[in-house]
Chain A
Amino acid sequence: SPTVSMAELEHLAQNISKSHVETCQYLREELQQLSWQAFLQDEVDGYQSKPREVMWQLCAIKITEAIQYVVEFAKRIDGFMELCQNDQIVLLKAGSLEVVFVRMCRAFDTQNNTVYFDGKYAGPDVFKALGCDDLITSVFDFAKSMCSLHLSEDEIALFSAFVLLSADRTWLQEKLQVEKLQQKTQLALQHVLQKNQREDGILSKLRCKVSALRSLCARHSENLSAFRAVYPDIVRSHFPPLYKELFG
């Protein structure tokens, strides 16, 4: 474990929190104000009657938009741009969707089991046409369990950075550099949790979320492969190029 001064941890925590706020796509207050706006039944019917490929394309676009903000988040984390370019790409390929899932808890309404999507709050039924009910259920369950931790914005920021800087990703060239950065981020996260007087078990709960995130992303890949097998041309010509780069 690296020796890091309290001042350095404080500085890193501030840098990561600031980067998160600057790149979070929607402010929490904005999302809370919108939370009473759920899709009406006829709008839900509209989504459900979309052809499968059209709904997939829409979701791929939304995911890609969210990921672009995550790339910007990564770039602003102290030390990320000092990693070699191969490793920056490896970390983003493996971790950007995970961070989108973490960030999703900010846009999730636990009372109604809805998430902000395409301008309003949507329940799992809105995503029916995708034909991957299990994945959707898992994503909603994950958001719900993340929300139950009641993380503050700085805790979400630090946890997102910790997820993104995972040193165990395959194909890293300078694993040691990433490891150092992740360890520092973990210390900064612990520092913030202590400062916020969180209960002792919170870190181990967050560790469980790391494996849940990996399984969600693996499921996303499986579902994408199954979809691509049926609609190769749709993916090739209508999906966002960045989405294909990340998940192709």
Chain B
Amino acid sequence: KEKHKILHQLLQNSTS
């Protein structure tokens, strides 16, 4: 999970 921190974040952000 740590390896793809930003991707995780982007995926979790609600779509605007």
Contacts and interface: CB of A to CB of B under 8 A. Distances in A.
A108 B8 CA distance: 31
B8 to A, nearest CB: 7
Contacts of A246: 7
A177 B4 CA distance: 22
A216 interface: no
Interface string B1-16: 0011111101100010
A53 B3 CA distance: 25
Q: Which secondary structure characterizes the binding site on chain A?
A: helix
B10 A85 contact: no
B2 to A, nearest CB: 10
A246 B11 CA distance: 14
A241 B6 contact: yes
A71 interface: yes
A89 B15 contact: no
A71 B10 CA distance: 7
Contact size range, A:
10 to 19
A245 B3 contact: yes
Contacts of A72: 10, 15
Contacts of B11: 71, 75, 81, 85, 88-89, 92
Nearest to A19: B15
A74 to B, nearest CB: 8
B14 to A, nearest CB: 9
Interface string A61-74: 00000001001100
Contacts of A81: 11
A242 interface: yes
Nearest to B14: A75
Nearest to A22: B15
5 contacts: A72-B15, A75-B15, A76-B15, A92-B7, A245-B5
Interface of A: 68, 71-72, 75-76, 81, 85, 88-89, 92-93, 241-242, 245-246
| Pairs A-B, 7 closest by C-beta atoms | A242-B6, A71-B10, A89-B4, A75-B15, A89-B7, A245-B6, A241-B6
